[in-house]
Amino acid sequence: MGLHWAPETSMRVIVACLPVMSLHTLSVSAVSYQLIRQSARQNQMLDELRRVDALTGLFGRGHWQEQAEAALRRHHTTDEPACMLMLDIDHFKEINDAYGHTVGDEVIRALAHVVRGNVRAGDCAGRYGGDEFAIVLPGMHARDALAIAQRIREQTEGVRLRSLPELRITSSIGVAPADHRHSSLRAWIDAADAALYVAKNGGRNQVAGCMEPALVPAV
């Protein structure tokens, strides 16, 4: 076409292109920053979903187990006391059968509300499975943990559902302090479960401690 190819760019062209190049760089940086922030928010939401049980708002089983293992390790390392509570809704299957799973979910949410109102900021309360809740109380001795369990039991008796005010709800709770004989988290959970079954076999609506031979009866 009669045009001369010149591989060198003149200073005038370079200067003319600088604003466009600067705008392009700033635009790419801004878009990249927004994408990074969006990705971080999504990762945070996914982590929150992993940690929290959707029905109750308490911690999910996986996160609860991590916190329980950490409390048991501290006990083995520093002798820091810790207690575990296992809570079970009495006759929950009968509630589901008589009123349906929607009412059963309401009962679970109501119990979770009671639990949240009786734990400290550093405690870890979670839904262990079905109608069973588990609470780890770091830095707490058995006597204080039994008092908290008794308070939860008493407040559970006072729960009334707006749709079914005649429904009476009770709970059984087992308490197990961390012990050096607990070689694993499974052993600690088994101790709390054993205390829970003592309460259930004793007539339900009771608190029992695996280190306490006597039950704390309902008043």
Lowest-pLDDT range of 34-38, 45-49, 201-205 = 45-49
Residue 214 has pLDDT above 90, yes or no: no
Residue 16 has pLDDT above 80, yes or no: no
Mean pLDDT to the nearest integer, 3-17: 68
Q: What burial class does residue 11 get, using C-beta atoms within 10 Å of its C-beta: 0-12 exposed, 13-18 middle, 19+ buried?
A: exposed
157 vs 20 pLDDT, higher one: 157
Single out the residue of 174, 199, 201 nearest to residue 188, CA to CA.
Answer: 174
Which tokens go with 75? 């006990």
DSSP states along 98-123: HH-HHHHHHHHHHHHHHHHTTS-TT-
Residue 148 has pLDDT above 50, yes or no: yes
Span 61-84, pLDDT tens digits: 999 999 999 999 999 999 999 999
Residue 213 has pLDDT above 60, yes or no: no
pLDDT attached to residue 182: 95
pLDDT attached to residue 53: 92
Q: Are 90 and 204 in contact (CB under 8 A)?
A: yes
pTM equals 0.75
